[in-house]
A and B are shown apart, each in its own frame.
Chain A
Amino acid sequence: MSTAASPAATGSVQPSRSRSAARRRSLDRFGDGLLRVVCAAAALTAVGILVLSAYQIFDHAGPAISKFGLGFLFSTEWLPNFGVFGAGVMLYGTLVSSFFALLLGAPIAIAIGLYLSLLAPKGIRGVISPMVEMLAAIPSVILGFWGILLLAPFVQKHVEPFLHNTLGFIPLFGPPQTTGASIFTASLVLTIMIIPIVASISRDLFLAVPRDVQDGASALGATRWEVVRGIVLPTTSSGVIAASLLGLGRALGEAIAVAQMIGAGEKINTSLFETGDTLAARIANQFPGAITGMHKASLYYCAAILLVIGLASNLCAQWIGRRFDYRRMVAR
């Protein structure tokens, strides 16, 4: 700092000082420019990684795309030995397991968000909030391992028979299978992964709803639930939808835990209790062992589909989150 307290007054009198000041000024100009360029380059690197990854994956999927075309999405035959590939089974498994996880997880997560933001006493909130976030920190490989060894047998013995007996008239809840590996158990683990994401975002959304509006409703005689139903949820609905889409994106792209639990099935079963497969899990399972070029290219094609679906849900979330920002509706 002391060096900067220089010229103005004395600079013009002492030429040597002014020369060093000039050198300093040019150094500063150079430094400013350099730092700006370096930072901008780093920022562009982030964009570049995304663009390059999408380009490379589509490029490498090229042979499979040109051979199978869009029929790849619907064909359910995946026979590496015969060079026949279709992603129908995986696409179905990906969508069903993720949507089921979202259907189960989003209401629970939103309820947790409500509890943490509106109901919990401050001390308890300070304990439970980090615990919910901790749930997101459990590595998926551990969650999957726990799922296949502890959760799946329990679900297969107790939950699946119960669901089959009570809701068996819906074809989704068919008879339980011998192993616990199924779309259903995979979805349960995905639910565990979605909940902390959606819960912590919706908690922050609910906390941002202006307090005076809620108090006004209470003063008019609304019960706590009516305040939530009439004020908190409507003002944050777009944000909650965006949060759910982010959770969905997480579920769609999860490879490891699903690969461990879903059982790598080869056909589409209506029952959730049968095995299936997802795009990400198939890549994780078969990529290291894929030998033929077309097998690899088909896996790249799967990755490309996953990329498009994941990107779509993510961008939708961004768009909804920004387009319908609750801050614009509630004057603050």
Chain B
Amino acid sequence: MTLESTNAHESPFDPAAPLTPTGNLRRRRAISRVAESGATLAAALAVGVLGIVVYGVLVHGAGALSLDFFFEGAPNGIGPALVGTAEIVTMATLLAVPLGVLVAVYLVEFGGGRIATPVRLALDVMNGYPSIIVGVFIFILIVEATASQSAIAASVALAIIMLSIVARGTEEVLRLVPDSMREASDALGVSRWRSILTVILPSAVGGIATATILAVARAAGETAPLILLTSNNPGIEVSLNPFEAVPNVPGTIYRLSEEANPEGFARAWGAGFVLLALIMAANVGARVLLNRSRRKMAG
């Protein structure tokens, strides 16, 4: 079908004339083309914004990096903050992953119970729960009760934020485990709990790992709860005591960004660079892992 219109004006009907778009069709085509380029532009915009943000952090952050920056304390580096973040996130993971997996097992393997609906709703709501609210809640629950900020309080808050990510990711992958495996296990007379622990969960371990990495990446950058729960440590020395406030990377960036101090800004850029690099690496890793386990599941 040729679309060139040499003579699209109203002429007497000629059945032998080549098919050409009339004025109306040409308008519709034009609208469609405008809409298509608008959509393409929007996608380009999103990629562009990602590029600009990453570029900005890269350019400003790379200058701050040095070996000392990773190992020294507050005025020069972010060593203690890195250690603190690792500690908080590790404790949060240890809390959130078992709990999240159990919730998912309940929903998939023991589903149909009367509490399945509220549980699913709770997970959905939790996914959109403002992290500052989680921070305020844990402040009431732990910091007020013990009268001191602590790494434990921060990890409980992060665990709540991670819980829905782990639970939903695990639920999704448990549903991908073929029913034939459950049936085979049943047919061999294996009891429910044994087949869950030895057949179903092991085959879902790739997906669980993916969800865990994504949750860790989310928790590592979470700031709002930390400034309520573990902020009064300047991060001069490494401290690991879980019952005290420990320095942490997001909190450091936030504090430095609130002080109008160029040297502080440089350090904040450096810390932001490190944090962003870790989080992006985790996200890419999770994606690779997900693709691999999907392929394994499929074939």
Q: Is A135 an interface residue (CB 8 A)?
A: yes
Contact A46 B122 (CB under 8 A): yes
Q: What is the minimal beta-carbon distance from B24 to any residue of chain A, in angstroms?
A: 11
Residue of B nearest to A8 (CB): B189
What residues of A have a CB within 8 angstroms of the CB of B140 in the complex? 56-57, 60
Q: What is the minimal beta-carbon distance from B186 to any residue of chain A, in angstroms?
A: 11
What residues of A have a CB within 8 angstroms of the CB of B60 in the complex? 149
Q: What is the minimal beta-carbon distance from A222 to any residue of chain B, in angstroms?
A: 9
Contact B102 A119 (CB under 8 A): no
What residues of A have a CB within 8 angstroms of the CB of B50 in the complex? 131-132, 134-135, 138
Contact A46 B123 (CB under 8 A): yes
Which one of A35, A50, A142, A146 lies within 8 Å of B193 (CB-CB)? A35
- Cα(A112)–Cα(B128), bound, Å: 22
Q: What is the minimal beta-carbon distance from B280 to any residue of chain A, in angstroms?
A: 7
Q: State whether A42 and B136 are in contact (beta carbons under 8 Å apart), knowing that A35-B196, A149-B265 are contacts in the complex.
A: no
Q: Is A116 an interface residue (CB 8 A)?
A: yes
What residues of B have a CB within 8 angstroms of the CB of A45 in the complex? 99, 103
Contact B121 A318 (CB under 8 A): yes
Contact A139 B191 (CB under 8 A): no
- Cα(A195)–Cα(B47), bound, Å: 11
- Cα(A15)–Cα(B29), bound, Å: 84
Contact B130 A254 (CB under 8 A): yes
Q: Is A324 an interface residue (CB 8 A)?
A: no
Q: Can you list, as one digit per residue, whether each of B78-95 has a CB less than 8 Å from chain A (1) or not (0)?
A: 000000000000000000
- Cα(A228)–Cα(B129), bound, Å: 33
Which one of A43, A107, A141, A146 lies within 8 Å of B103 (CB-CB)? A43
Residue of A nearest to B192 (CB): A32
- Cα(A288)–Cα(B233), bound, Å: 13
Q: Is B176 an interface residue (CB 8 A)?
A: no
Contact B126 A310 (CB under 8 A): no
Contact B228 A142 (CB under 8 A): no
Q: Is B32 an interface residue (CB 8 A)?
A: yes
Q: State whether A148 and B257 are in contact (beta carbons under 8 Å apart), knowing that A56-B141, A108-B46 are contacts in the complex.
A: yes
Which one of B103, B134, B164, B191 lies within 8 Å of A42 (CB-CB)? B103
Q: Is B180 an interface residue (CB 8 A)?
A: no
Contact A47 B118 (CB under 8 A): yes
Q: Is B124 an interface residue (CB 8 A)?
A: yes
Q: State whether A120 and B160 are in contact (beta carbons under 8 Å apart), knowing that A35-B192, A49-B126, A223-B29 are contacts in the complex.
A: no
Interface size on B, residues (CB 8 A): 92
Greatest chain B CB density within 10 A among A6, A43, A115 is at A43
Contact A314 B102 (CB under 8 A): no
Q: What is the minimal beta-carbon distance from A142 to any residue of chain B, in angstroms?
A: 5
Q: Can you list, as one digit per residue, whether each of A87-122 has a CB less than 8 Å from chain B (1) or not (0)?
A: 000000000000000000001110110111001100
Contact B46 A196 (CB under 8 A): yes
Contact B102 A43 (CB under 8 A): yes
What residues of B have a CB within 8 angstroms of the CB of A115 in the complex? 39-40, 42-43
Which one of B132, B164, B189 lies within 8 Å of A283 (CB-CB)? B132
Which one of A111, A132, A141, A310 lies within 8 Å of B130 (CB-CB)? A310
Q: What is the minimal beta-carbon distance from A74 to any residue of chain B, in angstroms?
A: 22
Which one of B29, B193, B275 lies within 8 Å of A139 (CB-CB)? B275
Contact A119 B36 (CB under 8 A): yes
Residue of B nearest to A283 (CB): B132
Q: Which of A212-251 contact B (CB under 8 A)?
A: 223-226, 228, 246, 249-250
Q: Is B258 an interface residue (CB 8 A)?
A: yes
Q: Which of A77-85, A162-170, A267-275, A299-307 has 4 or more CB atoms under 8 Å from chain B?
A: A299-307
What residues of A have a CB within 8 angstroms of the CB of B121 in the complex? 318
- Cα(A298)–Cα(B141), bound, Å: 18
Q: Is A86 an interface residue (CB 8 A)?
A: no
Q: Is A253 an interface residue (CB 8 A)?
A: yes
What residues of A have a CB within 8 angstroms of the CB of B268 in the complex? 145
Contact A142 B125 (CB under 8 A): no
| 8 residue pairs bridging A and B, Cβ less than 8 Å apart | A39-B109, A39-B110, A135-B46, A139-B276, A140-B221, A142-B57, A284-B132, A310-B133
A-B pairs with the 3 shortest C-beta distances? Answer: A253-B130, A139-B221, A28-B191
